[in-house]
Amino acid sequence: MEFNRITEADVRSIRQIVGDGAVLEDPAAVAPYGRDETEDLAFMPEVVVIPENVEQVSALLHYCQERRIPVTPRGAGTGLSGAALPVYGGVLLSMKRFNRILDIDLDNLQATAEPGVITQHLIDAAAAQGLYYPVDPSSKGSCFLGGNVAHGSGGPRVVKYGTIRQYVLNLEVVLPGGEVIWTGANTLKYASGYDLTQLMIGSEGTLAVITKIVVRLVPLPAHQVVLLASFKTNEMACAAVSAVFRAGLTPSALEFMERRGMDWVREYNDLPLELSADQQAFLLIELDGDNMDLLYADCERLNTVLEAAGCADVLLADTAAQKEELWRIRRTMPESVKSNSVYKEEDTVVPRAALPSLISGIKEIGRTYGFDSVCYGHAGDGNLHVNIIRGNMSEAAWKEKLPAGIAEVFRLTVSLGGTISGEHGIGWVQKTYMPLRYGDIHMNLLRGIKKAFDPHGILNPGKIFDDAAGTAQQ
């Protein structure tokens, strides 16, 4: 389908819907909305619209559908797949004014919030009531709940608590024609026809615009134990991961980091952490619970498993400050890698016992295709973030040769039973790799679902699959 460019008359109409102060046209004001955290990509919207209530979103979408103007919803812009980039121009719909936590329901252990709430704010509001919202991606201090839902977000606690799919109960959404519906019910169980709530999760803003989110909360665990285990090789560390679960332990986090990432974090954060030459790979492990005796007993079992897996050294965080320090290493790894080099991040995920094969295969592919990588991620879930470092690769190698190497990484991932993305989504940059895992039949089912929600294809076109004939303009 072809889209219309936005005219001056369109801008006047949009200003009438949302008010003058909610429309940005000036290139300098618009520019930040043309980027997210995905590599160095930039696509400029024609206008930025920042509504403040569901009626405005409804009227805006209705108008844009009538006029065949593409609309790209945007949360905090922390995404890593380019899903929030307005690749066909049109309206960039910023949800940042939807920033209220509407209710913490202590009788039902539920919260209702708007999509522009920063994830950490909901975590804090729940904690203040002794409750836990355990969906905490690394960007939790800046990312929005709406973006988390749209991407099916994970984070380190998935390994014990599950992804955001296990927490979202119900969503208020605006369909591309402007209709407002709740997708389900505020209930812990739902067997009332196809589950539209689950379908919205991970749909990357291509089906509807989320305007309210109801999540369940769980009791806040009283204690955490955090430790850093080091290994001589990546493969040994990765092999230890499934051994931990086979032993019946369920950590609340189990993160893998390789040495290079650790070195860069130490420089970036100016950390005093001393490492010896045989500490080449690390597992950050957290156990949580309400009873310290039980936690210490689990720690002992964990130590036994780690030792049997060839762990060289275990550093147990004694104080709250030490725990925070260990977590800061992991959480600042993305930005410390970014500060060193332009990079491409691939979000591979496999059954967890396949991790050793995945990481050694990735390094082998790197040698063949001439790229270097820093790997880290949620090893307990089999989810490894592969950061391919530009370093001093030539423009030609980076733009033309590298995609073949990345395709090789995904072929390996798929051959190990995995898929193209575990938690970052497909968006703009991964969609070319979807055919490595999914055939035309699967992709056409996705397109058929899209058509049922968005018959004119105005919502976030060009994401997950090719669905628009217009020209993407970088």
Site residues (CB under 8 A) for a copy of itself, limited to 127-156: 130, 151-154
Q: 347-366: buried (b, 16+ CB within 10 Å) or exposed (e) per residue?
A: bbbbebbbbbbbbebbbebb
Hey, what are 330's tokens?
Answer: 């992991």
- Is residue 162 within 8 Å of 195, Cβ to Cβ? no
> Is 1 a binder of a copy of itself (CB under 8 A)?
no
Nearest to 115 by CA among 79, 86, 143, 82: 143
Do 378 and 355 touch, CB atoms closer than 8 A?
A: no
Task: Pick out residues in 242-261 that bind a copy of itself (CB under 8 A).
Answer: 242, 245-246, 248-250
* Interface positions, 294-313, toward a copy of itself (CB under 8 A): 294
Q: Which x/- pattern over 198-237 shows residues binding a copy of itself (rule: CB under 8 A)? A: xx-xxx---x----------xx------------------
Asked if 344 interacts with a copy of itself (CB under 8 A), we say no
Q: Residue 241 — φ and ψ, nearest 5°?
A: -60, -55
How many residues in the shown chain lie near a copy of itself by CB under 8 A? 86
Give the integer Cα–Cα distance in Å for 55 and 17: 9
Q: How far is the CB of 43 from a copy of itself (least distance, A)?
A: 21
Assess 109 for contact with a copy of itself (CB under 8 A).
yes
Q: State the nearest-atom distance from the C-beta of 219 to a copy of itself, in Å.
A: 4
Q: Read off φ and ψ for residue 364, nearest 5 degrees.
A: -65, -45
β-bridge partners, 283: 229, 256
Interface residue with a copy of itself among 8, 194, 277, 300 (CB under 8 A) is 194
Report 406-465 residues binding a copy of itself (CB under 8 A). 417-426, 430, 434, 437-439, 441-442, 445-449, 451-453, 464-465
Q: Which of 286, 59, 78, 85 is nearest to 205 (CA)?
A: 85
* Shortest CB 203 distance to a copy of itself, Å: 6
Under the binding rule (CB under 8 A), the answer on residue 391 touching a copy of itself is no
Q: Is 268 in the site for a copy of itself (CB under 8 A)?
A: no
Q: Which residue has the tokens 């370093």?
A: 391
**Which is closer to a copy of itself, CB of 45 or CB of 380?**
380
Q: How far is the CB of 329 from a copy of itself (least distance, A)?
A: 22
Give which of 112, 288, 72, 318 is closest to 212, Cα–Cα: 112
* Residue 67 touching a copy of itself (CB under 8 A): no
